[in-house]
């Protein structure tokens, strides 16, 4: 499993792994296992990606839902491709518009759509979905504030909000599964149901499920003409990188997202194998940066954080820990390729590959950090020594810590790596009980920087040390009134030119303050077997984020595939 997928597993509770023997036995023995026929009527593929213990749950509001729930069974109003800077694609909606105040969103729904049970889909299903969320706090995971959701006719929905709500747009349009009123109106507790007979508008519906895996089959009522062309999709699991490599080269799995050592060498020996790398999460040193919020240690000195930024030899770290697959990060914490239009200063587009030891030393000298006899600096009796936490077993991050300890030593900084259980590591970040921590900053709800900056940098999303900063908030305890004001102003408008001005203000602050010190973009490696299906995403055509575990995107990929031959 890639580092990227590990982060999403931890944050969103997706899936772990099963035994190789069980997975391969399932593939080999089932009547639904992929064959080699080029006949579209019999086309079938296998995907590596499901839960270690299959517990049936197709509830789109549940954090423990099975992987195909979002995008394969249930669809959203629009699809947001976070792998590219492209407009959202209409799905169950064809148009939307805000009023000038940002308090009313009008949505036009697609006509001619049917649910997988043959019942017609209308705007009333959309209104019902959002009313259900509004009335049930337990399924309102995003904290969406709605006054009402009403269908004014069969193809028009009006959502009304108590305050300006432009920034809710991606969550509403792209991250809310629309459910059928005729099914869910009969469910007494929408938070607790496992939705055992899921009815959706997506390209596939459930065919069979047992303790080892499950099979999806084509939805004959799917609204996109001629899609999907692959008839059945089997979800299996593989336990280790060796097992994944063996299954891929043996043709026993068609789509997987795993870190496989020597991947280029393995791929080069098999004409039907391909892969795509979509670096997207910024691996960073999280710092408990704010002494006023209770943080303690040299990392509360901005000069120390700046020196660390310049002392990193990122090219070396990529070779040692990233396998050479990592991408270049930006000190703005945005993605340099996808988000270039949002990065105001070209000098902040990418982090340097090599270190600038002279600059790091100059910064520390000017800040009064003096080298001792052992080469480690101190100031006012405080030694420039910090602990950095990571999770036991995260071998790539452990390698990063070991290498960074040597790099920082060159400029007089002592780094002390420590390994913790994932729960303790996570709790420390949430509570602010750390000096430095290795983690990654993700994609956000859309490519708009608001969803990175509001979560990671605003005073409203943090808390004093010892108090919870939420599940994915401002763990650095960073507080800057200039940033707070700019984020709020950007969120109060949907004019991109105005937003860019505010983001420029934010970036000017955070690239100096560096509460999160970027290292590189983690690789996300996804492998394909093209002998049974073609049309997979490529490095040149990232029409979807290709990882098997990515919600919403998996439905886009499956509807883009064609039987090989």
For residue 411, the 8-state DSSP code is T
Query: 9 vs 60, which has greater pLDDT?
Result: 60
pLDDT of residue 17: 30
- Tell me which of 192-201, 324-333, 440-449 is least confident: 440-449
pLDDT of residue 22: 32
Query: Are 549 and 441 in a shared domain?
Result: no
Return the HEC string of 481-521: HHHHHHHHHHHCCCCHHHHHHHHHHHHHHHHHHCCEEEEEE
Query: Are 488 and 413 in a shared domain?
Result: yes
pLDDT of residue 285: 98
Residue 403 lies in a domain: yes
In 3D space, the residue among 315, 313, 335 whose CA is nearest the CA of residue 326 turns out to be: 315
And the tokens for 507?
């970036």
Q: What is the CA radius of gyration of the chain?
A: 24
What confidence tens digit (pLDDT) does each residue in 498-516 have?
A: 999 999 999 999 999 999 9
Q: What is the mean pLDDT of the chain?
A: 89
Residue 458 is part of a domain; what is its CATH number? Answer: 3.10.105.10
Query: What does the alpha-carbon distance between residue 460 and residue 437 come to, in Å, rounded to a whole number?
Result: 21
Query: Are 328 and 475 in a shared domain?
Result: yes
Residue 55 lies in a domain: yes
For residue 118, give its domain range: 74-195
How, if at all, do strands 232-236 and 44-48 pair?
parallel
Query: Are 512 and 373 in a shared domain?
Result: yes
Query: Are 357 and 466 in a shared domain?
Result: yes
Q: Point out the domain boundary residue: 171, 195, 219.
A: 195
Q: Using the structure block, give the residue that is written with the tokens 């040299």.
A: 298
**Other CB atoms within 10 Å distance of the CB of residue 260:** 21
pLDDT of residue 37: 39
What confidence tens digit (pLDDT) does each residue in 218-234 have?
A: 999 999 999 999 999 99
Total structural domains in the chain?
3
pLDDT of residue 21: 31
Residue 413 lies in a domain: yes
Query: Are 252 and 156 in a shared domain?
Result: no
- Tell me which of 112-116, 268-272, 497-501, 530-534 is least confident: 268-272
Quote helix, strand, coil % in the chain, to nearest 5.
Answer: 30, 20, 50
Query: Are 45 and 111 in a shared domain?
Result: no
Query: Are 422 and 300 in a shared domain?
Result: yes
Query: What does the alpha-carbon distance between residue 52 and residue 22 come to, in Å, rounded to a whole number?
Result: 11
Query: What does the alpha-carbon distance between residue 123 and residue 119 come to, in Å, rounded to a whole number?
Result: 13
Residue 6 lies in a domain: yes
pLDDT of residue 84: 84
- Tell me which of 27-36, 193-202, 300-309 is least confident: 27-36
What confidence tens digit (pLDDT) does each residue in 283-330 have?
A: 999 999 999 999 999 999 999 999 999 999 999 999 998 888 999 999
Residue 418 lies in a domain: yes
Residue 65 lies in a domain: no
> Cβ-count burial of 430 within 10 angstroms (0-12 exposed, 13-18 middle, 19+ buried)?
middle
Query: Are 166 and 218 in a shared domain?
Result: no
Query: Are 239 and 217 in a shared domain?
Result: yes
Query: Are 487 and 436 in a shared domain?
Result: yes
What confidence tens digit (pLDDT) does each residue in 367-388 have?
A: 999 999 999 999 999 999 999 9
In 3D space, the residue among 97, 76, 166 whose CA is nearest the CA of residue 454 turns out to be: 166
And the tokens for 478?
């960073």
Residue 102 is part of a domain; what is its CATH number? Answer: 3.90.76.10
At 264, is the secondary structure helix, strand, or coil?
Answer: helix
Q: Point out the domain boundary residue: 195, 222, 252.
A: 195
pLDDT of residue 197: 95
Query: Are 264 and 388 in a shared domain?
Result: no
pLDDT of residue 40: 66
pLDDT of residue 8: 39
Residue 277 lies in a domain: no
Instruction: Give the highest mean pLDDT range of 11-25, 36-50, 242-256, 524-538.
Output: 524-538
pLDDT of residue 49: 63
Task: With a cut of 70, say whether residue 153 has pLDDT above it.
Answer: yes
241 — pLDDT class (breaks 50, 70, 90): low
Residue 226 is part of a domain; what is its CATH number? Answer: 3.40.190.10
Residue 37 lies in a domain: yes
pLDDT of residue 236: 84
Q: Point out the domain boundary residue: 168, 195, 222.
A: 195
């Amino acid at each position: 499993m890639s580092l990227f997928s590990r982060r999403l597993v931890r944050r969103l509770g997706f899936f772990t792994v099963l035994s190789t023997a069980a997975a391969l036995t399932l593939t080999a023995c089932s009547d639904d296992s992929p064959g080699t026929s080029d006949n579209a009527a019999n086309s079938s593929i296998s995907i590596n990606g499901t839960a270690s213990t299959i517990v049936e749950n197709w509830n789109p509001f549940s954090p423990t839902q099975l992987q195909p729930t979002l995008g394969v069974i249930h669809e959203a109003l629009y699809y947001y491709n976070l792998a590219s800077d492209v407009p959202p694609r209409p799905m169950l909606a064809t148009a939307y518009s805000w009023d000038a105040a940002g308090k009313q969103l009008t949505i036009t729904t697609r006509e001619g759509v049917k649910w997988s049970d043959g019942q017609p889909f209308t705007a009333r299903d959309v209104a019902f979905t959002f009313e259900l969320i509004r009335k049930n706090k337990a399924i309102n995971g995003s904290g969406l504030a709605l006054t009402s959701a009403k269908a004014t006719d069969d193809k028009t929905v009006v959502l009304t909000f108590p305050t300006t709500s432009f920034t809710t747009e991606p969550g509403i349009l792209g991250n809310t599964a629309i459910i059928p009123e005729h099914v869910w109106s009969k469910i007494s507790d929408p938070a607790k149901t496992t939705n055992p007979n899921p009815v959706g508008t997506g390209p596939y519906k459930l065919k069979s499920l047992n303790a080892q895996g499950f099979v999806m089959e084509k939805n004959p009522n799917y609204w996109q003409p001629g899609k999907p062309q692959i008839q059945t999709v089997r979800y299996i699991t593989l336990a280790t990188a060796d097992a994944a490599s063996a299954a891929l080269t043996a043709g026993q799995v068609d789509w997987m997202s795993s870190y496989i050592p020597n991947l280029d060498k393995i791929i080069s020996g098999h004409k039907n194998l391909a892969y795509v790398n979509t670096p997207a999460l910024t691996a960073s040193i999280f710092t408990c940066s704010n002494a006023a919020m209770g943080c303690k240690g040299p990392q509360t000195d901005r000069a120390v954080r700046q020196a660390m930024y310049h002392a990193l030899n990122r090219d070396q770290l990529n070779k040692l820990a990233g396998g050479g697959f990592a991408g270049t990060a930006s000190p703005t914490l945005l993605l340099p390729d996808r988000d270039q239009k949002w990065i105001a200063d070209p000098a902040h587009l990418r982090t340097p590959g090599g270190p600038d030891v002279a600059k790091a030393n100059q910064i520390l000298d000017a800040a009064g950090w003096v080298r001792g006899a052992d080469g480690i600096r101190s100031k006012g009796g405080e030694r420039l020594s910090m602990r950095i936490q990571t999770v036991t077993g995260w071998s790539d991050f452990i390698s990063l810590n070991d290498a960074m300890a040597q790099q920082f030593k060159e400029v007089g900084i002592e780094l002390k790596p420590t390994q913790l259980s994932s729960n303790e590591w996570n709790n420390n970040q949430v509570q602010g009980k750390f000096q430095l921590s290795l983690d990654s900053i993700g994609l956000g709800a859309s490519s708009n920087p608001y969803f990175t900056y509001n979560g990671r940098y605003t005073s409203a999303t943090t808390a004093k040390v010892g108090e919870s900063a939420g599940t994915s908030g401002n763990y650095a305890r960073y507080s800057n009134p200039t940033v707070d004001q700019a984020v709020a102003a950007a969120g109060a408008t949907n004019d991109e030119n105005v937003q860019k001005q505010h983001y420029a203000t934010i970036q000017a602050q955070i690239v100096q303050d560096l509460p999160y010190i970027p290292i590189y973009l983690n690789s996300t490696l996804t492998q394909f077997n093209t002998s049974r299906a073609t049309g997979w995403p490529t490095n040149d055509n990232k029409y979807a984020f290709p990882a098997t575990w990515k919600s919403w995107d998996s439905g886009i990929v499956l509807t883009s595939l064609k039987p090989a031959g």
